[in-house]
Amino acid sequence: MKKIAVFPGSFDPITRGHESIIRRALPVFDEIIVALGENAEKKSYFPLDSRLKWLELVFGDEPKVRIMKYSGLTVDLCTRMNAVYILRGLRTSADFEFERTIGLMNKAISPVIETIFFLSAPEYAALSSSVVRDILRNGGDVSKFVPDKIAREIHGSVSL
C-alpha cells in the first residue's frame, strides 16, 4: 500500500519551517498531500488562492507532493485520500501539548490514522506564520523566513 501522509495547515503564509518539514519527510512517504484547511472561523491574512498558489510554486517540481485545499475534518480528508498518516511539525513543548490533544482526538475518531511528528530544524524553531505576518504588517523584510521562490510575491501582495 502506498504510504500517503497529509500535512494539514493554514500556511498563512508558508514559511521555511513548513518547507523544511515537508522536504525532510519526503524520503519517509510515497506521497505527501499538503492540505490547506479552509477554516470559516479563522480569518486569514492572505487569500486562499494566494496561499495555494505559493504552495504550488514551492513544490510544483516535486512529484511526491500534492497540494490541495479542504474543509471539514482532517481525518475525513485522510480517509478520502487513502492517507493513513498525518504529518505535523513540533517546535516547542507548547506545540507538543497542542498537537497531543488533536492527535489523540483524531485517534479516537479514526483509529487507523497515525500522527507522525518531525522536530523542527533548530534554525526554524522560532519561526511561525504569525511572526512572518507581524513583520509584514510592519513593513519588514521576510525573505529569510519564507521560501526563496515566493519571497518577492509575498512582499508584492501585502497591504500595509
Catalytically annotated residue among 18, 20, 88, 120: 18
- Cα–Cα distance, 114 to 84 (Å, whole number): 6
Catalytic site includes residue 91: yes
Q: How far is the CB of 7 from ligand ADP (least distance, A)?
A: 7
Catalytic site includes residue 18: yes
Q: Is 6 exposed, middle or buried (0-12, 13-18, 19+ CB in 10 A)?
A: buried
The smaller minimum CB distance to ligand ADP, of residues 23 and 64, is found at 23
What 8-state DSSP symbol labels residue 11? -
3-state secondary structure of 86: strand
Is the Cα dihedral 157, 38, 113, 129 positive or negative? positive
The smaller minimum CB distance to ligand ADP, of residues 74 and 84, is found at 74
Query: Which residues are at the interface with ligand ADP (CB under 6 A)?
Result: 9-11, 15, 17-18, 21, 88-89, 91, 95, 120, 124, 127-129
Catalytic site includes residue 155: no
3-state secondary structure of 69: strand
Catalytically annotated residue among 23, 69, 91, 107: 91
The smaller minimum CB distance to ligand ADP, of residues 1 and 89, is found at 89
As annotated, the active-site residues are: 18, 42, 91, 129
